[in-house]
């Protein structure tokens, strides 16, 4: 599941002239039944959220290599190492700015992970 938005923004001063086309998408895990996260189910939700984000990017004509920033929100604290392993595996060597947020809740109580990604094409 994903939500997305496309915008065009001017380049920052000192950068190449022109406009960059920016796409923002939100990746959620597929609908989940389990109410309490354990390490395995949390890892599956992280992978699903990345997959949802990549699906939204592809549907808008972007590639994984266009991803410039990702912000993950996780409801279970202390999961940075797990998230980094999943992120690195899913990005397969691609580097993007990244932020990790521990939050109280997400849009659905059964979702423990949500990833917002920003992709750009010049």
Split at pLDDT 50, 70, 90, the class of 109 is confident
DSSP string of the chain?
Answer: -EEEEEEEEEPPTTS-SSEEEEEEEEE-PPP---SS--HHHHHHHHHHHHHHHHHHHHHTT--GGGEEEEEEEESSSS-HHHHHHHHHHHHTT---EEEEEE-S--SSTT--EEEEEEEEE-
- pLDDT tens-digit map of 28-86: 787 666 555 565 688 999 999 999 999 999 999 999 999 999 999 999 989 999 999 99
Between 114 and 20, residue with greater pLDDT? 114
* CATH fold for domain 2-9+20-121: 60s Ribosomal Protein L30; Chain: A; (3.30.1330)
- Residue that wins the pLDDT comparison between 113 and 17: 113
Q: Which of 11-15, 47-51, 83-87, 98-102 has the least mean pLDDT?
A: 11-15
pLDDT at 2: 45
As a whole-number percent, the residues of the chain with pLDDT over 90 amount to: 57
């Amino acid at each position: 599941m994903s939500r997305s938005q496309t915008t065009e923004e001017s380049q920052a001063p000192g950068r190449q002239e022109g406009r960059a086309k920016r796409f923002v998408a939100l990746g959620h895990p597929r609908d989940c039944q389990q109410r309490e996260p354990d390490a395995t189910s949390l890892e599956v939700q992280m992978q699903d959220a990345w997959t949802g984000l990549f699906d939204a990017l592809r549907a808008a004509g972007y590639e994984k290599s266009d991803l410039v920033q990702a912000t993950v929100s996780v409801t279970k604290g202390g999961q940075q190492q797990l998230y980094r392993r999943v992120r690195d595996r899913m990005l397969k060597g691609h580097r993007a700015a990244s932020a990790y947020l521990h939050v109280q809740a997400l849009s659905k109580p059964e979702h423990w992970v949500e990833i917002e990604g920003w992709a750009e094409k010049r």
